[in-house]
Chain A
């Protein structure tokens, strides 16, 4: 156990000002540690009660099969095998992957563009613009979706009204061909401001003297943005990418609510999350639902990890 302490880089950034012979923590350090544990305790408690325990329980449930007739029996990984061969689950995963591949680049690209524009300091009414872009995020997704459901309305929705006024056919926002695009639109509006704020905050932390140096070398604003700003906030962008990946696979609220206006377009397995919910609450198949949820979580973990890994590699090269 002593190896790590001796291997520590002397005077390294990890132990500023506390170098010296290690004789166990002093009483004051110990007190501070206790305080630290005390402060994180509430979080850890809630975390354990609301996340860890249910997760473990769900994992346990996923190994059983309870039938309406015949009762409960241990089936091992059978539920997982069933999920892997389940066409409904598969089509949901493909659907959200498609969603991810198209919507996330658009949303994050726009968010980055807005963040750079705000950071350039060349906008009038900057605060107002910033707030306006952020505002849709402050609207609860339930409200936003209901609102969009109204806007999309095929007979009396505003878009239809406008189209009819101009003599065009009504855009079928809620048809099966358009639905995924309509959902992408809703989510883009909902989360563009959120992602923009993360990127903008990171941009504000980039030291300004870098820009001055670049300007001296004759770089224009676009060049500065491309070669300095974007690389400087790479980790913030990566964070938004990971959030968006997770968010896409967890799509639930929006399709669930649009189901009331397009019940036959959004079926019970439209997204994997919706599928897991319906399995549990309308099919009364809690065990299978738990397995589906676990597979989904595993999938998300893998995809997030791959995203992180590839972007880190790119950063190093």
Chain B
């Protein structure tokens, strides 16, 4: 439930389940026709795979299975298949976020039916590297990509020397505002959180049906993004047995207290997000702003189409005047499972669709993902796009600038699904009920700490 969401949220779960079920059957049958797979043992050595090995693998007839919830991923796959006619890619939508991870874990446990390449969000990578389920893509040419990504993105996919996914999209956070409502009330887009709080109060007095923003109690992704902006480093994992859980820090408390104050004054609403109720609130002006990620603008265009032209984008309010830091919310990678029989071809697929200029740009312009690769972030057609929905503002340029401002060093726990679920039951409930968020925060920390200990981790 708590996976960072993207525009395709409305996709029917039932359908996804059916697709996944048949996909499992399909991939189980498809496993047989591997073609001797030269260089199969490339994964065990740290030596880079040589160009001859790659050429040979890419000209050997091979079938790869690729699980992704990216809509129209076939477009990128078609480009890949055109470049490598001998490789056949079977595309499977096994559900989004948690739904997919559940199936993936089941397939890994069962020892069959797992895909070769799979879409995984950044915060879930450690939960799969923990079991050694992901292939280190470094030797397969991924190590050379380091300079083409923002530093913090690269940090997200590496662990020690290993590279465990190719970044597909990211979600540096900014703020989207309803310019018309702000004008009506006579406020300008706040640049600091202090101004934001003042504006929220003004908004409530001037327009009782509208809130400056909504703070959902069910969206740990957004909340963690806001912690990230304030320099908090609540989670960490050494890749082995030691985890860091550090929610009792000034950086975290400052954010929690700030929202606690606004919620208790009823200066912001606390509706659950990504449901019909909230979609309506976005389109009928109940919320005058949304602190969201780089995928937010396009999501909004689909969700609140009737408000076209009324929105503007801005950086997140800063904690200190002039500060430019921001956090990240969501985004995903394409990873290769270590169980694949065709590691070279699988690694090439993951690499190709995210770094081939045509493929990456298709993702950015047609699927509207915020692709962090330089091939997109430096492309003028992407940067200079000026959507009508945002009154001709160059939103991509803004978010591209923001993507450079994300704190580079932010880690995750190897069981983020538990952590996010627990957020909903503790801190999230406190938000929802306007209760004691400090106590909620403490309950959250205690709960995930006891879970970590129960699972055999050493907690720092």
Contacts and interface: CB of A to CB of B under 8 A. Distances in A.
Interface stretch (B245-253, B257-265, B354-362, B449-457): B449-457
Contacts of B102: 281
6 contacts: A70-B456, A150-B276, A261-B277, A264-B217, A283-B418, A283-B451
B208 to A, nearest CB: 14
A279 B241 CA distance: 22
Contacts of B424: 263-264, 267-268
B455 A69 contact: yes
A282 B457 contact: no
A176 interface: yes
Size bin of chain B's contact surface: 20 to 34
Contacts of A176: 433
CB-CB nearest 3 A-B residue pairs:
A264-B432, A263-B218, A70-B456
A281 B275 CA distance: 22
A267 B280 contact: no
A281 B2 CA distance: 13
B189 to A, nearest CB: 25
Contacts of A153: 276-277
A155 interface: yes
B433 A264 contact: yes
B364 to A, nearest CB: 30
Summarize A's interface: helix, strand, loop or mixed. Answer: loop
A282 B14 CA distance: 19
Interface of B: 1, 14, 98, 102, 105, 130-131, 217-218, 241, 272, 275-277, 280-281, 286, 414-415, 417-418, 421, 424-425, 428-429, 431-433, 451, 454-457
A68 B275 contact: no
A126 interface: no
Contacts, number: 79
A312 interface: no
A185 interface: no
Interface residues of A, number: 26
Contacts of A263: 1, 217-218, 272, 424, 428, 432
Interface string A70-110: 10000000000000000000000000000000000000000
Interface in A250-309: 259-265, 267-269, 278, 281-284
A267 B443 CA distance: 14
Given A176-B433, A263-B428, A283-B451, A155 B218 contact: no
Contacts of A247: none
Given A267-B424, A284-B415, A284-B418, A259 B457 contact: no
Nearest to B105: A284
Contacts of A264: 217-218, 272, 424-425, 428-429, 431-433
Interface in A156-186: 156, 176
A67 interface: yes
B425 A67 contact: no
A136 interface: no
Contacts of A150: 276
Most B CB atoms within 10 A — which of A70, A176, A282? A282
A155 B281 contact: yes
Most B CB atoms within 10 A — which of A263, A265, A281? A263
A150 B277 CA distance: 8
Contacts of B457: 68-69
Given A260-B275, A267-B424, 6 more contacts: A69-B241, A261-B277, A264-B218, A281-B98, A282-B417, A283-B418
A210 to B, nearest CB: 49
A261 B418 contact: no
Contacts of B417: 282-284
Given A281-B102, A284-B418, A261 B425 contact: no
A282 B101 CA distance: 9
A117 to B, nearest CB: 37
A155 to B, nearest CB: 6
Most B CB atoms within 10 A — which of A142, A153, A155, A264? A264
A281 to B, nearest CB: 5
Contacts of A67: 454-456
Contacts of B98: 281-282
Contacts of B280: 155-156
